[in-house]
Structure 1
Amino acid sequence: MNPDLLYLVKANVVLTLFVAAYYGLLRQLTFFQLNRFYLVAAALFAAVYPSVSVPALLPASAASMVAASAWGALPAPPESPPTGPLAVNWQVHLLRGYCLGAGLLVGQLLVQLLSLALVRRRARPAVVLGQPVRLLREAKGSFSFGRSIYVSEAAVADPAALAPELRHEQAHVRQWHTLDVLLAQLTTALAWFNPAVWLWRRAVLENLEYLADRATVQSGLERRAYQYSLLRQQPGRVPAPALAFRFSASELKKRIARLNQPSSPRRQVYRYVLAAPTVMALALGHSGARARPGALLERDRGLPVEALYYLDGQASDRATIQRLAPQDIRSVDWVEGAAAVRRVVATPPFQQAVVVTTNAQAESRVVRELADRADLGSGYHIRALPVEALLPACLAYVAEHYPRARLSGEVREYTKKSTGAAKLQVQLVIGESFFYVYFLPNGEFLRGEEQ
């Protein structure tokens, strides 16, 4: 799978698990600060998780073998520019659709920020009821964004109604709630296709209102008087700019119910210990399992019936391979195509070969001989290189022989364990298709028979 698409899938699956745990275990609790931390941590963990390696579950030696296992299935590079699609990548269409949606939403966010900047420019500083504010001529009501509270000049004429509004907005400002809002908007823009992210954003904004309501009451304002002030809000008032907090009656019934809800017993904190660590453990455990070489055998645990099987350099069978414990496997090479299988055995009756090496026999002579003869990935050390590492001769060859192709940025150095001979694999892309060309470290092009 395309690395970018795989990242999106992993991140959104984990975020969905966090959201499910929140709505199932935490939403009804009155630990609003813990809920705030949980929701922010969920988004940050989901964003970082796909890039996290799990060394405790995946030793470095195994990691290199997993990367090497793909070598046996690589197509031979063409000797002339391709005339048709070599590997139609349907995933490109998905990524284009995702980028289009994300770009539109990020653009909308930038427009909203610009709108708020214009509102701030038009407002004039003032002090109302002892609170520094910015006065607006428009009838936008009271709202806040960042460290500023905005009040309409018409609202100043009614100090009794304005006082609870100011205290509510002070709570948003004092607790830096705008940071959460910006994170919520950006996360939603970048994961717009995931229904769970919209539920997550709703939970974030809803919880911030609960925090501000509670802080307002704790500031000394009588609870019943504050509830009446909520009821007096007029839904028809001109709304504040997008992204801004406003003292509004949105979901009024739920907010008043939360104000009157008894505090959750402290023993209910165990739910957070159950929710967040469980989701993280599931995610990291899944990464470790997928990273093990043995996981390559679990592609529906359905090893192909019509395939040639080798175990530790010797002919084997499907049933024997299926009985292996994943932790005992050092590497797995999937070999596709009669020409590639012929390097494993001279007269192959199959189009596929699965070559498995265990930890116990990884360094044995027969295993090394098979890896060399069949040119298997497990016979190489593999290292990713930046495109800048390519010599000008490589770039010149690509420009001359593949003028319609572009470098994908994927360059790998394959060093044969037995001889130390190295070659570079360069991925080229034409339209929605990709293919590989190979060079020696000195820049000399390798034709198919020389590889």
Structure 2
Amino acid sequence: MSHLNEILLTNIFLILIWLAYEFLFSRQRLFQANRIFLVSGSAIAVILPWLPWQIQLGSFSAPVITIPMAMDPLPLADPGIVAQSGMITASTQSVNWLSILYWSIAGFLALVSIAQLVRLRIWARRGKALYQNGLKIVPLNKPWSAFSFFRTIYFPAPFDPHSAETLLILKHEEVHCRQLHSLDNILMLIIRILFFYNPVVYLLTSRIRLVHEYIADEETAGTDKAEYSHTLIRHQFLVPGLLLMHSFNKKSLLKRRLSMLFKNKQTRNAGWNYLLALPVISLMILISGWSATAQDQAKKSKEEIAKMAVEKELTKAGFSKADIDEIKIRIDGKMVEKALMPIDLKYNGEDVFTVVKDMPKFQNGTIEDYRNWIQKNVEYPADAKTKKIQGTVYITFIVDTKGQVVQPEIIRSVDPILDQEVMRALKTSPAWTPGMQKGKPVNVAFAMPIKFILHGNTTQKLKEPEEENPEEAAAMINNYNDSQIQKGKQAFQIVEEMPVFQGGGIKEFAKWAQASVKYPSIAMENGIHGTVYVSFLVTKEGKVEDVEIARKIDPSLDAEVLKVIRSSPDWTPGLQRGNPVNVAFNIPIKFKMQ
């Protein structure tokens, strides 16, 4: 997922903080206030765009709770033929050289910073350290000005602890150590590494360092500002380019430090100027919240566009309107992105798709024509009729780039006798016209349930219920497991006879839940909305148990969903091979403000 919007906002906010400081506060002598504004403002500028919150603009009307009539976002079904939803695109992705370049530079800068920390550590351990006022003083045999990092002061040799000038410099560095200016430097170093391409970051870093020196100068100079200024001038030595240290004197900052040192004190009312920071921060909050809201709306628009594309292509592929509506309902949030990818399956080293622009055609017809061909060619084995074996065999197969039916596989077996008959029929399948994606033939996978049902002395194959629910026909293409273990209980997702709720299926339960769920008042007041995904188990006794939130939105919405689902009336349990079994469900419940 791209975070271009957050990155752009962060850079804009950093520029805004720098402009506010330069034009409003840089000439003020309230140095601690300037430090707080620069450091906290920079941190807010970086963090604010990434916070998961929105500002709701416009008016609200009555809340609406929408529960899509869908069971689980994974399996999808055409009557008799099952395919995953979505417009499928090629999986090949170009290398993102810009991202590689960015992380290479950022990684290099991080390594350089780590190397400098190691260098300071080596100097501190190898040098003959002295201790004074709880600080560690490390003499260095280098022609540099003194500098500090946290509670360690690095002083150029020779170190004379009795010299008045030495004591003055130590007092200056002690201010940096005591006020933890190194923490500010570390924060700005992280920002510099992440946003190295933004020149304003370097300007902010320079201003924070300058404010640190103002603070130390003011406290160290006392009343004898002339003597202190002479000391600054005498120490115009070269300073190592260490990003984290505080140097007693840096030539590029000397003129400003001397100018601020002799500047008159601020008036009592000068502090009121910092109230101007409030509209600056408020503007950043407003822009960030508005941008998050705009992104959410854009995401919803993208989902709608994806649904329209899916509807268009599935119509071409011969899907009925009811099945297309079912597929569109299932496309939600990340499911759109997932739908735009090939499935995790390869054939002859090439991607396998489930829905493509031009679906494979069987004898110039649609999927329904192939289904009719299967119905005519699958025979009910005599041994199965004698033994009264019946049930639904789920199969998968691939129509390859040459139109051949390849890799037929039983993904849910009933009995070897029925399985063999299904495999026999598939292996005799005539060729298809292959599916096309971007003008090229591609592999397309299908899944199909084949029902063998005994009715007295007659038999029927592929019998369809009058209104077949997706859960009664769906099967996963990728090696679907017959059952799963959920909290120590064997649970199925699809069984021969799905659980019944008040005479209906999952749609009837959705209607009941929609009537029972109430929009929490606290969520309404705070404009909280979204889709809560809840999973539960209908046990072999027909009880609803193991209710859990699979995807959370807000504690108030989550609690309301849990309360309602747990209060569900009893179901008629699902049956597998004539025996009641546990069946797992997963439904989305959408809370929407309108």
Q: TM-score range by the shorter chain?
A: 0.5 to 0.7
Choose the corresponding residue for 1:268, options 263, 273, 276.
Answer: 273
Matched with 2:344 is 398
What do the CA deviations read for 1:139-164 (whole angstroms, capped 9, x no partner)? 43321111111223324177122122
- The answer to whether the 8 Å contact 1:141/1:155 transfers is no
Matched with 1:334 is 305
- The answer to whether the 8 Å contact 1:123/1:136 transfers is yes
TM-score (structure 1 length as normaliser): 0.61
Matched with 1:230 is 232
Change (3 A) 1:37 1:15: same
Matched with 1:243 is 244
Matched with 1:159 is 163
What do the CA deviations read for 1:41-86 (whole angstroms, capped 9, x no partner)? 2332233223312255289999x99xx9xxxxx96336xxx5xx75
Matched with 1:103 is 107
Matched with 1:281 is 286
Deviation, structure 1 residue 192: 0.7
Matched with 1:185 is 189
Matched with 2:394 is none
Change (3 A) 1:344 1:272: farther
Paired amino acid for 1:334: I
Choose the corresponding residue for 2:295, options 282, 290, 297.
Answer: 290
Moved more, 170-179 or 252-261: 252-261
Change (3 A) 1:276 1:52: same
Tell me, yes or no, if structure 1 residue 77 matches structure 2 residue 88: yes
Change (3 A) 1:115 1:130: closer
Counterpart-to-counterpart distance in 1, 2:51 and 2:329: 24
Matched with 1:319 is none
Deviation, structure 1 residue 288: 2.5
Deviation, structure 1 residue 231: 1.8
What SS is found at the alignment partner of 1:154? Answer: coil
Moved more, 140-149 or 119-128: 119-128
Paired amino acid for 2:47: V
More helix by share: 1
- The answer to whether the 8 Å contact 1:142/1:152 transfers is yes
Deviation, structure 1 residue 442: 6.9
Superposition map of 1:386-425 within 5 A: 398=344, 400-401=346-347
Change (3 A) 1:96 1:445: same
Counterpart-to-counterpart distance in 2, 1:203 and 1:19: 9
Deviation, structure 1 residue 6: 4.4
What SS is found at the alignment partner of 1:192? Answer: coil
Change (3 A) 1:29 1:342: same
Paired amino acid for 1:231: I
Superposition map of 1:100-179 within 5 A: 100-127=104-131, 133-156=137-160, 159-179=163-183
Tell me, yes or no, if structure 1 residue 52 matches structure 2 residue 85: no
Change (3 A) 1:8 1:278: closer
Counterpart-to-counterpart distance in 1, 2:87 and 2:195: 37
Deviation, structure 1 residue 438: 11
Superposition map of 1:338-417 within 5 A: 340-341=311-312, 373=324, 380-382=331-333, 398=344, 400-401=346-347
Counterpart-to-counterpart distance in 2, 1:191 and 1:61: 43
Paired amino acid for 1:188: R
- The answer to whether the 8 Å contact 1:146/1:173 transfers is yes
Matched with 2:97 is 93
Matched with 2:21 is 22
- The answer to whether the 8 Å contact 1:191/1:197 transfers is yes
Paired amino acid for 1:205: R
Deviation, structure 1 residue 175: 0.4
Aligned residues: 333
Counterpart-to-counterpart distance in 1, 2:191 and 2:223: 35
Counterpart-to-counterpart distance in 2, 1:10 and 1:165: 41
Deviation, structure 1 residue 227: 1.6
Superposition map of 1:289-328 within 5 A: 289-292=294-297
Change (3 A) 1:344 1:245: same
What do the CA deviations read for 1:195-238 (whole angstroms, capped 9, x no partner)? 22122222222221112212223xx4522221222122233x56
What SS is found at the alignment partner of 1:227? Answer: helix
What SS is found at the alignment partner of 1:292? Answer: helix
Counterpart-to-counterpart distance in 2, 1:133 and 1:215: 20
Matched with 1:8 is 7
Change (3 A) 1:98 1:5: farther
Deviation, structure 1 residue 253: 1.1
- The answer to whether the 8 Å contact 1:125/1:134 transfers is yes
Matched with 1:32 is 31
Choose the corresponding residue for 1:254, options 253, 256, 261.
Answer: 256
> Alignment RMSD, CA only?
4.4
What do the CA deviations read for 1:299-326 (whole angstroms, capped 9, x no partner)? xxxxxxxxxxxxxxxxxxxxxxxxxxxx
Counterpart-to-counterpart distance in 1, 2:156 and 2:216: 21
Change (3 A) 1:54 1:239: closer
Deviation, structure 1 residue 401: 4.5
Counterpart-to-counterpart distance in 1, 2:475 and 2:316: 32
Change (3 A) 1:200 1:399: farther
Change (3 A) 1:269 1:55: closer
What SS is found at the alignment partner of 2:304? Answer: strand
- The answer to whether the 8 Å contact 1:129/1:163 transfers is no
Paired amino acid for 1:223: K
What SS is found at the alignment partner of 1:133? Answer: strand
Matched with 1:43 is 42
What SS is found at the alignment partner of 2:27? Answer: coil
Paired amino acid for 1:444: I
What SS is found at the alignment partner of 2:129? Answer: strand
Moved more, 51-60 or 5-14: 51-60
Change (3 A) 1:174 1:287: same
The structure number with the bigger radius of gyration is 2
Counterpart-to-counterpart distance in 2, 1:234 and 1:247: 9
Moved more, 223-232 or 135-144: 135-144
What do the CA deviations read for 1:317-349 (whole angstroms, capped 9, x no partner)? xxxxxxxxxxxxxx9712598774366899xxx
Change (3 A) 1:400 1:173: same
Moved more, 38-47 or 167-176: 38-47
Change (3 A) 1:232 1:269: same
Change (3 A) 1:157 1:177: closer
Deviation, structure 1 residue 188: 0.4
Moved more, 241-250 or 370-379: 370-379
What SS is found at the alignment partner of 1:149? Answer: strand
